[in-house]
């Protein structure tokens, strides 16, 4: 689906990859409804949009609040007149600890944001998208959704749920105007740990863990290109591509390989 003159809803649009998705879409001529739980972050995105902010609306919203999500389409319609696409980008990671050390509050928070937030937005906007001549849903899973990452087991479970939810949704919508894409980012250069409230051990960096990060603007470009080209699945970053291949070929070796790369974070 071409995004020029289309209205796209982007969750997590206040920072990181979500902000870059918003800015990229605006640069391509789209109208964007940016959703975030942080009002200051949304204001920052609007400022960066510059003169393109006339095609941007910002909506302060907790995507885990189903009633609030269900009120959102009316606000987007009032701002833009229609809605043609949805990018479920908002997500958080868990603290880097073993499952035995992870409390239920953290487990619930990760599942509510990553999985239920995606479900709420999808179900809420789907009736409106089905009325369009063409529309698109992009759900952001993760490399952790197909590969077990130590210290992120519940996060990975939430993203694996997003993966299967999205693939099932696509199959159900094959005979409709709504196209569906699932995205698997690898390590992206954002502040997701800080925004998630997940502390990382002092002195441990991506470089010291041997992880090559993909810049957030590059990740956004890859995702939107996948949307435009109606890709079934999109792998973002050389790490995601390599580990997707390795997991298919040697799943046990892949799991042990990523453990060696990531164990310093535990």
Active site residue 259: no
193-200 LR contacts (CB < 8 Å, sep 24+): 193/93, 195/15, 195/16, 195/92, 196/92, 196/93, 196/94, 197/92, 197/95, 198/92, 198/93, 198/94, 198/95, 198/96, 199/95, 199/96, 200/96, 200/265
Q: Which of 104, 116, 155, 259 is catalytic?
A: 155
Please state whether 109 falls in left (phi above 0), alpha (psi between -120 and 50) or beta. Answer: alpha
The one-character DSSP state at 60 is E
Q: Catalytic amino acids?
A: 155
């Amino acid at each position: 689906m071409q995004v020029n003159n289309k209205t796209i809803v982007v969750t997590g649009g206040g920072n990181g990859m979500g902000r870059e998705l918003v800015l990229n879409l605006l640069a391509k001529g789209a109208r964007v409804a940016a959703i975030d739980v942080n009002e200051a972050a949304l204001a920052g995105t609007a400022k960066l949009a510059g003169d393109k902010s006339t095609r941007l609306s910002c909506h302060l919203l907790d995507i885990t609040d189903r009633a609030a999500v269900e009120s959102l389409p009316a606000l987007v319609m009032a701002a833009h007149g229609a809605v043609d696409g949805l990018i479920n980008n908002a997500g958080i990671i868990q603290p880097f600890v073993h499952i035995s050390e992870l409390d239920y509050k953290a487990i619930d928070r990760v599942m509510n944001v990553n999985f239920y937030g995606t479900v709420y937005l999808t179900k809420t906007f789907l009736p409106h998208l089905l009325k369009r001549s063409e529309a698109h849903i992009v759900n952001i899973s993760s490399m952790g959704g197909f590969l077990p990452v130590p210290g992120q087991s519940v996060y990975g479970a939430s993203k694996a749920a997003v993966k299967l939810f999205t693939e099932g949704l696509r199959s159900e919508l094959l005979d409709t105007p709504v196209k569906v894409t699932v995205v698997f980012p690898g390590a992206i250069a954002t502040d997701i740990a800080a925004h998630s409230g997940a502390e990382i051990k002092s002195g441990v960096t991506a470089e010291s863990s041997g992880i090559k990060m993909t810049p957030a603007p590059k990740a956004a470009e890859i995702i939107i290109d996948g949307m435009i080209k109606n890709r079934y699945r999109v792998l973002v970053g050389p790490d995601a591509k390599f580990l997707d291949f390795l997991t298919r070929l040697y799943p046990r070796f892949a799991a042990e390989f990523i453990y060696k790369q990531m164990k310093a974070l535990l």
